[in-house]
């Protein structure tokens, strides 16, 4: 018999967002919660949905939480409730996930794309001012702003709210990536006229399917959204008073979220620890994420900006070889994408910051369960490449 070749130690591939460790930790509670729903059998608008809404309202210090089917519907329901439509302009960042602009197009309004800030990658208030002027020149009616809390950090709401007040616009915070974060002692959910989030599995607070929520202190808005969520029903179930949709959150997902909310605060602390470790080790090599004063991040993503001397494709390949996944959020800003190209941008030329960001950013593994060993391996792989 020949001696077998010595095998290299198998590399255990790291998860980009480690949902497995979380499940292992809370599995008995999740199983029990799902079983309870199966036993009572109220799969649509069961007691867990209302319990979750109550807990979320307490968590972020807001009067109304309206759960819904996903984070995109959350944004869309608000635009429907506000009667946004053709001729209206809604200001959205270009450097975001498509849903933020998609919902504006759904209702026939015009998304106007705004550039990003160099340091936080969030909506640039100066570019927002320009966008409002551009919309007016085009004969559009500016109605609202949807700032996005990109990668988990709240946008600069004081600066944005001041502009909104000047032009009498509403502010809807797209907190799909930032649930759990704070802006100057206010929790995401309680910032803006209305806020939304997503419970897509990979978001900071995720369920095991699709889910989302809307948060507001506005009683009237909350009542309209609740009606829209169930086909526009009125006080008499058989007399629909407006055109709505089927936008409810499943009871099973609500039951799962109630269990996940229990470990969420610890996960936020862990995410910050991982970010601190990455920051410390990488700060002299790449541009590490910058948080503005008085703000915390939910760290949906840990995204660095690479200097010219680091080739992004090479780095992605080197990380992959070590079993480390990395993702580019986002390869293309929305204003350059096929479905959105024809919509206006803040200035008629281009959006230089978000176009540069798209070519330079890279997101590293992040979750509430990144081990010290994994963080070390990520850092060492990057250091090795940049030293060679
Ligand atoms: C994920 C996301 C959404 C949409 O959420 P879904 O639940 O996937 O519909 C909206 N906006 C932003 C910024 C997101 O990251």
Question: What domains are there in the chain, each with its CATH number?
Answer: 19-259 (3.40.640.10), 264-387 (3.90.1150.10)
- Which of 220-224, 232-236, 317-321 has the weakest average pLDDT? 232-236
Count of Cβ atoms closer than 10 Å to residue 338 Cβ? 7
Q: How far apart are CA 16 and CA 367, in angstroms?
A: 8
Model confidence pLDDT, tens digit, residues 285-309: 999 999 999 999 999 999 999 999 9
| CA–centroid distance, residue 68 to ligand 1 (Å) | 13
Which residue pairs from 223-227 have beta carbons closer than 8 angstroms and sit at least 24 positions apart in sequence?
Answer: 224/81, 225/66, 225/77, 225/78, 225/81, 226/66
Output b/e per residue, 319-337; b: 16+ Cβ within 10 A.
beeeebebbbbbebbbbbe
Model confidence pLDDT, tens digit, residues 169-190: 999 999 999 999 999 999 999 9
Nearest CA, atom 7, ligand 1: 71
| CA–centroid distance, residue 197 to ligand 1 (Å) | 7
- Find, among 196, 186, 83, the residue nearest to 148 by Cα: 196
Q: Which atom of ligand 1 is nearest to the CA of 210?
A: 7
pLDDT of residue 4: 54
**Which tokens hold the place of 373?**
């060993």
pLDDT of residue 1: 47
What is the pLDDT of the chain when averaged over all its residues? Answer: 95
* Local structure of 295: helix, strand or coil: strand
Residues of the chain above pLDDT 90, percent: 93
Considering only residues 284 and 2, tell me which one the structure prediction assigns the higher pLDDT: 284
Q: How far apart are CA 186 and CA 175, in angstroms?
A: 13
Is pLDDT at 322 greater than 60 in this prediction? yes
Is pLDDT at 355 greater than 80 in this prediction? yes
Is pLDDT at 236 greater than 90 in this prediction? no
Ligand 1 pocket by Cβ (under 6 Å): 70-72, 96-97, 99-100, 148, 174, 176-177, 198, 200, 210, 212
- Which of 12-16, 116-120, 226-230, 263-267 has the weakest average pLDDT? 12-16
pLDDT of residue 5: 59
């Amino acid at each position: 018999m020949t001696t077998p070749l010595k095998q290299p130690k198998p590399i255990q591939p790291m998860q980009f967002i480690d949902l497995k460790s979380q499940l292992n930790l809370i599995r008995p509670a999740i199983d029990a919660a799902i079983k309870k729903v199966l036993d009572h059998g109220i799969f649509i608008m069961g007691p867990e949905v209302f319990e979750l809404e109550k807990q979320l309202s307490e968590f972020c210090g807001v009067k109304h939480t309206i759960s819904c089917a996903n984070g995109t519907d959350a944004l869309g329901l608000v635009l429907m409730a506000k009667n946004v439509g053709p001729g209206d302009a809604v200001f959205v960042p270009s450097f975001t996930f498509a849903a933020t602009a998609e919902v504006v197009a759904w209702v026939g309004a015009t998304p106007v794309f705004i550039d990003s800030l160099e340091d936080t990658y969030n909506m640039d208030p100066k570019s927002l001012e320009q966008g409002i002027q551009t919309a007016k020149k085009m004969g559009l009616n500016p109605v609202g702003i949807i700032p996005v809390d990109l990668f988990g950090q709240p946008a600069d709401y004081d600066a944005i709210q001041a502009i909104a007040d000047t032009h009498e616009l509403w502010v809807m915070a797209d907190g799909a990536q930032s649930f759990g974060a704070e802006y100057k002692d206010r929790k995401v959910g309680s910032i803006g006229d209305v806020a939304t989030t997503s419970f897509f599995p990979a978001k900071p607070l995720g369920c095991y399917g699709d889910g989302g929520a809307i948060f507001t202190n506005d009683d009237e808005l909350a009542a309209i959204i609740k009606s829209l969520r169930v086909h526009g029903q009125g006080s008499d179930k058989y007399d629909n008073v407006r055109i709505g949709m089927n936008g409810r959150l499943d009871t099973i997902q609500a039951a799962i979220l109630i269990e996940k909310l229990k470990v969420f605060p610890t996960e936020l602390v862990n995410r910050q620890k991982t970010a601190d470790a990455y920051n410390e080790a990488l700060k002299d090599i790449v541009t590490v994420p910058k948080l503005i004063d008085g703000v915390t991040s939910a760290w949906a993503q840990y995204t660095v900006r690479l200097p010219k001397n680091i080739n992004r494709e090479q780095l992605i390949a080197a990380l992959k070889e070590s079993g480390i996944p990395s993702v580019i959020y986002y390869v293309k800003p929305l204003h350059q994408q096929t479905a959105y190209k024809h919509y206006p941008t803040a200035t008629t030329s281009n959006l230089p910051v978000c176009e540069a960001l798209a070519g330079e950013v890279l997101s590293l593994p992040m979750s509430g369960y990144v081990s010290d060993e994994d963080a070390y391996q990520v850092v060492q792989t990057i250091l090795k490449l940049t030293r060679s």
